[in-house]
A and B are shown apart, each in its own frame.
Chain A
Amino acid sequence: SAVISQKPSRDICQRGTSLTIQCQVDSQVTMMFWYRQQPGQSLTLIATANQGSEATYESGFVIDKFPISRPNLTFSTLTVSNMSPEDSSIYLCSAGQGSGYEQYFGPGTRLTVT
């Protein structure tokens, strides 16, 4: 299994600012994913991050709002730009590896926008 860490674990931000969330994996992985979990809701995929290529965004999510970097096989960042209160959520990073195609998740970043 992979161990995934995220920074920050939580933050309170003002409307109109941006926050960059970091995701670190303890081993090299091919695929990394970013999810959003709104209060009391399930997980929604934001984008898939491949090393050396542009991230692939799901419907309803755009690069200008959620730019993603994937500089190497163990690290990725997600930026939440020009934040509004509607962006208040938990943001989770995951990584896919192994023959069973399961994903391992980080502990999440709890974001509150005021």
Chain B
Amino acid sequence: AQSVTQLGSHVSVSEGALVLLRCNYSSSVPPYLFWYVQYPNQGLQLLLKYTTGATLVKGINGFEAEFKKSETSFHLTKPSAHMSDAAEYFCAVSEGQAGTALIFGKGTTLSVSS
């Protein structure tokens, strides 16, 4: 069965600092991996995705993530945090078949201080 583990339920950084949100997955087949962001009182917005090909994927708002098969990881990074990045971030995995539902991690709350 697939599963997603997000290490650290809360991450705090200063504005301008590196953002690193950790995600590890378990899957019996090559996974498709996603990061979503949820701002307060809003739905989920897709940040980026990995399906096949290049293992370093770039998303919106300056975020990127690297798929590391040997480490079963898909960590999310951003070189310089902005106050507007404060939100809840969810890592998700699917088995890649059309229409397969996503399995979500528990989420990481990112706080950014000035």
Contacting pair B101 A108 (CB below 8 A): no
Interface centre among A45, A48, A102, A104 (most CB of B within 10 A): A102
Contacting pair A42 B34 (CB below 8 A): no
Specify which chain B residues have a CB less than 8 angstroms from the CB of A107 in the assembled complex: 42-43
- B interface bracket (residues with beta carbon within 8 Å of A): 20 to 34
The answer, among B90, B94, B96, for a CB contact under 8 Å with A43, is B90
The answer, among B41, B51, B90, B101, for a CB contact under 8 Å with A45, is B101
A-B contact pairs, 30 of them (CB 8 A): A1-B46, A30-B99, A33-B102, A41-B107, A42-B90, A42-B104, A42-B107, A43-B104, A45-B101, A48-B99, A92-B44, A94-B44, A94-B102, A100-B51, A101-B32, A101-B51, A101-B94, A101-B97, A102-B34, A102-B49, A103-B46, A103-B101, A104-B46, A105-B43, A105-B44, A105-B45, A107-B42, A107-B43, A108-B42, A110-B41
- Residue ranges of A at the interface with B (Cβ–Cβ < 8 Å): 1, 4, 30-31, 33, 41-43, 45, 48, 50, 92, 94, 96, 99-108, 110
Which 6 interchain pairs have the tightest Cβ spacing? A31-B99, A105-B44, A107-B43, A105-B43, A42-B106, A43-B104
